[in-house]
Structure formats: structure tokens, C-alpha cells
Structure 1
Amino acid sequence: MTLVDSTASTVGGPGLPQERRLVTEIPGPRSREIHARKQSAVANGVGITLPVYITAAGGGVVVDVDGNSLIDLGSGIAVTTVGNAAPEVAAAVTAQVNAFTHTCFTITGYEGYVEVAEALNRLTPGDHAKRSALFNSGAEAVENAIKVARSYTGKQAVVAFDHAYHGRTNLTMALTAKSMPYKSGFGPFAPEVYRAPLSYPLRDGGLSGAEAAKIAITQIEKQIGAANLAAIIIEPIQGEGGFIVPAEGFLPALVAWAKANDVVFIADEVQSGFGRTGAMFASEHEGIVPDLVVTAKGIAGGLPLSAITGRAEIMDAPHAGGLGGTYTGNPIACAAALAAIELYERGDLLQRAREIEQAIRAKLTGADPRIAEVRGRGAMMAIELVDAATGEPDAALTGKVAAAAHAAGVVLLTCGTYGNVVRFLPPLAISDALLDEALDVVVDAIAAN
């Protein structure tokens, strides 16, 4: 880490010095000043994990208003996967802004929307005929995926899973498992949403994927019935629930059951898609082909865009006008997505994600007895922290580790149903040196607590 007295450049993108640099304490005086204004001007329900205020970002760092350069292990929650202010994305956005900013695709169309749909149809798993529809946020796309499934099947019930996170709209809160902070006090929620047990290898007694799937399917059949079920929705690797990777065979068994029972299988790849796991989509790791794939986050290099892509006959079920919205598939976001997708398709970013996984596993496996598991894929990795004597989740330790990392200049996120998971979502543009330095900070923070 470099300690200096001068402020950093405010020019964004990968041209920023790639270093951890602390000029002040974290947060610094200027950030504290802005945060006081935030508390007066912004609704209390909009929280900030690390109250520093950013002026520039690129590569593996974010620079705050006090000139501190922090290592970014969050990527805006898996959004800036190709790197913040990536030159290709910035250039595409600039060109589109200079052409036009909005027409509403459902009023007068534009080619960028069509090109993004074509790319998604090409890239998502399966060689069947596909259609796509674009939206703004992951939650909005999830909600529309449920609409599509219900329209296609004529059925209403939907199954989500333990530890799931699918968003904060009314329907997606119903799909989401964790109460605080996502659901508490916001009901009643949308009806006809049911929950099934997930394969959680660390905590389900060592069940195989097939065994865990049998338990889930039996519950679905007995408590809901396939004749009433429109869709199963699942994250191939869970996000907010703790970066849980189901045991091998769990997902294929669910897909096979859904296919046999005329149930739409929806893969929520909002956090796990677009190269994050070392494949374009996490579904590819077990060779599953979802009926519908929901994407967002990393799709557009930091601009708000989301999508549903799926089997043509399913996607075409809703009537004309049943899908869409004023800002859905905004032309600026589409331009950013096309530039980002081109970067993913070159292939080196997928390899980079796999290299990041290797580095994280090498650094953290066996680093402390309170690390119960190092899990995940690619640049979507996590550690679960527990009491070494009992194996019980240790949320207090997790909070202390995150706070220590923040104070040391590392942007670090936590998650998990039990609040005891530290997650690693670095941009794929991060350097080996910065990643190694940030992981050292985390290891030291665990040891110190």
C-alpha cells in the first residue's frame, strides 16, 4: 500500500494508478461531509455499506473524494465485470448519446435493441430457437419471466428455493427467502409463491445432488403439485444467499423433472452470468439448458439493463404489449451491452475469471480454521466463517472482517442467510498484484479478530 499526501487523479477508467493508497482515514473528511448531506437528503432505507463517495474508478480500484484509492472486490455487486469505465464501453456510450438517448422501443424501434437480443439468443445455453426481451433491472426481468411462464403454461404457482434472492419488488420479495433487510415489514407479498429446500453441501449433511433434488421434488409434488406449477426459478450459484454452489447433479435433476412435468425452468443468472463464473453463464458448468435465462448486472458494463432469453414458443406466449416499459432496452444501455458482450466473446475474460478463482482458493484455503469453506466459481467466490469449535455461523466475525478491510482500503461485501459469508466479486480487469494484496488484507483481518 502506498501512503501519500496528495490527492489522486480524477480521470476514470483503466488509466488510473492501480494501487491501494490511503491519504486519509476511511471514510475521509470529504466523504463524511457528503454522507451527512446524504442522511439529510436521501431516504433512510437507502443504505450504504461503505460510506465513501467515488469520483473515479477503473481496473481494480475506486478513488474517493478524499483521494483514497481502494481495491475493489465488489464490482458494484458484480456489475462492472469488464472493468469500470472500460474504454470500449465508454466509447460506445458516447457515440450513442451523441446520436439519441431515448425513443421508447415499443413506440419507435432501434437496431441496438435487436442486436442485443440477437447476441443473447446466440450466447445463452441451448441451440433451440430463442427470443429475448429487455428490461432495466434484475428484479424487473425476474418478474417478467414469471409473467411469461404463467402466460405460457396457464398455471399460477411458482417455486423458489431456500436462501434465494431474486429482488425487491413485491413479487420478487415473495421469491426472496431472507427477511432482513429485504422483506421485513413490506408485506403482504404476491401469492402462489412456494419454497423448496436447496442443496447446501456445507449444511445439509453431505447429501448428493441427486438426493437433495429428490427431497425438493417430493416436497414440490406433495405440497403444490406439478399440475399447478408454472415455473421453478433458481440461481445456479446463489448470490445474496451465500454464494452457495449446489451439489453436482442437483440442477440437472430439477431440469429433467421440470421438462417431464411441463414446468418452465428459469435460471436467474443476474449475478452469475456474463463471464463471472469462468463461463458465459453458470448453467454451463453442469450442462443444463434452462427454458428461460434471466440476466442483468454484468450485461452492460455498469449501465442499467436486464433481459429474459428463452425458448421461442415460451417467450412468444404473452400478447403484444404484455411485455415492455418506457425505459426497457434503453439505447444507451444497449450500446454499452454490445461493447461489453464483444469483450466477453474474445474469451480472455473467461480465462481471467478462472485465474481469479485459482488465486482466491490458493490464498484462502486453510488460511484459518474459522473458514469453513472456500466456494464458488470464477470471480464469484466466497468464504463462510464459523465458530471453530461449534461450526455455527459467525456473523459477528464476518462483520469485523469487513470493517477491518474497509478501514484498510478494500471494498469488501458480505452476504448469506446467516450473515457469515464474505464474498469476492472483483472486476475481471483487476491485476494479480492488487488481488493478492486485497486477499492479504482479508487474511490479516480474520487473524486479527
Structure 2
Amino acid sequence: MSYVQQVMEQAIKRSPNEPEFHQALKEVLESLEPVIAKHPEYEKAGILERLVEPERVIMFRVPWVDDKGNVQVNRGFRVQFNSAIGPYKGGLRLHPSVNLGIIKFLGFEQIFKNSLTGLPIGGGKGGSDFDPKGKSDNEIMKFCQSFMTELCKHIGADTDVPAGDIGVGGREIGYMFGQYKRVRNLFEGVLTGKGLTYGGSLVRTEATGYGLVYLMDEAIKDIGKSFKGATVVISGSGNVSIYAAEKAMQLGANVVALSDSNGYIYDKNGIDLKTVKQLKEIERRRIKDYLEFHPKAEYKEGFEGIWTIPCDIALPCATQNELNEESAKALVANKCFAVGEGANMPSTPEAVKVFHANKIIFAPGKAANAGGVATSALEMSQNSMRYSWTFEEVDAKLKDIMVNIYRNASSAAKEYGCEGNLVVGANIAGFLKVANTMLAHGVI
């Protein structure tokens, strides 16, 4: 048994019943076999053993009182996975599916994603099993304040800088930042995704979606393709999906489908993004309500069917493991030539094998959706300087970062004998920077 396999088996044994974390471990570690073979110093220094074990795991209860006066209790998490190249950085997810295994999977992926940006940020992730859906603003504020009352003991501008993720937008960040400032008596860049009036950055809202399209645009240029005239299917209808659609449309694509957890809409004439923004960003309604404004569009229950819609480019932007082997085969049959992950690990391992077997350009989430955390790091820089860049300045920096991520992942794949495999390339490129820094720091 190889060193990599031994580390993987030990990590899985140590963390049972965490399938998402096991999936992420397998996907990353197996791609590092040729790197470990070339660099025996990593094995000698126990780099992988240290890499798969979080530096710190924080779990805590979050008590709050709902609008009926009832006491509710949720569970909060913050996994500070690796700080070799900078302070922990990664989002907070509020969703009933959140558990330790999911947070560990997200935090582990974040190490490599953050490394790929080229910016000095380590990997972490957090959240709670609290469900913001159907809650009043007052209930969300009470939860966020209770959550931050504990979390504030473990984070800071130069220690750990959380951001938003599923269920955490500008409203939630605002409530959390207010409570942090109140308890710690500090006005600092401790959270990113803040409002523009209190230290936020322009482009942060658009960053993950825009960055996804910037990277995919660079990738498909290598096969002589572009977004102009392409038919695009995007899952989800949250922040990432909306702004991926917006940028794809700006580049001349026809985006024909979006979804939410209940179902998906198909508008063959092209999605009206103004309507989607009104429904999702302002009124917080379901995607099926799109048909009230565009009755000729189609709505179908169940989000899985979205991948049967013929398209040139598919951008899964909803949640983990949403795109399975059957869906991947449907995309191949409909002559899709590129898939880019806007969500974290939305494609199952079986789906990824289908894409590679059919030579479809496939960009994994740790590379393709790194635009959000990259712009969060740019927000941190602006906070440190007490200064703000223009939209155009931040957008240009974001585009440069995403183009470089693609190029670095592509060249790493080629160097290690896996040309065209961006999964392997992204894992290797992200790993090398972290591993070499861990070597420099000694055994800590």
C-alpha cells in the first residue's frame, strides 16, 4: 500500500460517518501520488498526515428565542483547517444539512482553493444547521447574534476571516459583524462580504459567478470555443448562479435554465435575469414564480432534470453532489463541451469520470469558484489599507486571478503527465504552495 493510501485510510478511520469529507480526501490525495513520488521529503515530514487533520475544530451550541417566545438550539461549527500560507479563510453556511463532516469537506477543499488564488489565505469553513428559510428578519438577527457571541472568541482580522456561503448573504453578515463589533469592541476586517458602507468591496457580490465564467472562458479558448452564441444551463438561482448567468450573457451566451431545491425553469428564449433578481434577491421567492412573469417558460419539479436540457456549457452552482453519472451522460449525449463547477463539489466522482472519458473540459470547484474567496481577500486588503478600489479595479484583479488559476492548474497537470485534467492540475498546484510552506515552518 502506498504512502498516500495509508494516509487516506487512516484519516477515514479516524473520521467515520463523514462521507463528503472522505470523498474530498480521496479526490485530492489520489491526484497527489505523482507529486509524492517526485518529492520524498513530503513523506518524511509527514505533510499529508498533517494536511488531512484540521489544526482546530470548534463546535458550540447556539441558543436563540423565536418570534413565539420559544427557545431554539442549533449547533455551530468552525473548522480551522490550515493556516500555513495565511489566516484561515472560508465561508459560513446556514443550512439544515450542515454537520461536522460537511464543514470538514468544505474546509479541506478551501485549503487548495485559497492557495490557487495566489493570495496569502489559509483554509477554513464554518456554519450551522440553522435554516434561515421561512424565518423572520428578527429571528435571523437573534440567531446571528447568538452564533457570533461564541464565534467571536476564535476569529480576527489576522487569525480567521469568515465570509458568506449558502444561507449567508449581506443581511446575515451585517448582523454578525454588528455583534462582533459590539462584543469585541473592534472595527476590523474580520468578515468579508460586508456592506459597502462598513468596509465591503465592490464586485464581492458578483465575484464567484463572474470568476467562474472568466475561468471557463479562458479554458474553452484552448479548444477554439467561446461563450458567444453558446447555450448555457446553470443550476441554482442564488448569488453564484445569478452572476454567472449575468457574465455569461455579457459575453454573448444564451442562458436557458436555472433551478432551486424544488425544481427548475427552462426558458428557451433566454432567462430574464431582471425577473430572477427581483424574485430571489428582493422578494426571496421560489424559482417557479418566474412563470408568473414569463408564462411561456417551463417549470418542472425536481432539480435533477435540468441536466437533460441540451446545452454547450453546463455550470452546476447549487450544492454538493447534485450532478450524478446519469446526468453527466445526458450532458455528453447532448454534445455539451464544457462543465464548470460554481458550487463546491457538485459533481459526483462517477460524473467526473464520464466527463474525462469523453474529453469534456471540466473545471473543479476549487479552481472554478475561487473568485469569491479571491475577492474576499481583496476586501481584506482594502480593509487593511482603509481604502476602497473601484468596481473596474477589483473586477480586473479578479479576472487576472481566475486566468492565472486556469493556467497554473493546466500547466501543473501537464508537468505531472495528466495534460487536460484540471482536477489533478488544480489539486497539485494548490498543494505545492501549502506543502512547501509547511516544510519551511517545521513540524507544527
TM-score range, shorter chain: 0.3 to 0.5
Q: Looking at both structures, which has the greater relative contact order when contacts are Cα pairs under 8 Å and sequence separation is at least 6?
A: 1
Specify which structure has the higher proportion of helix. 2
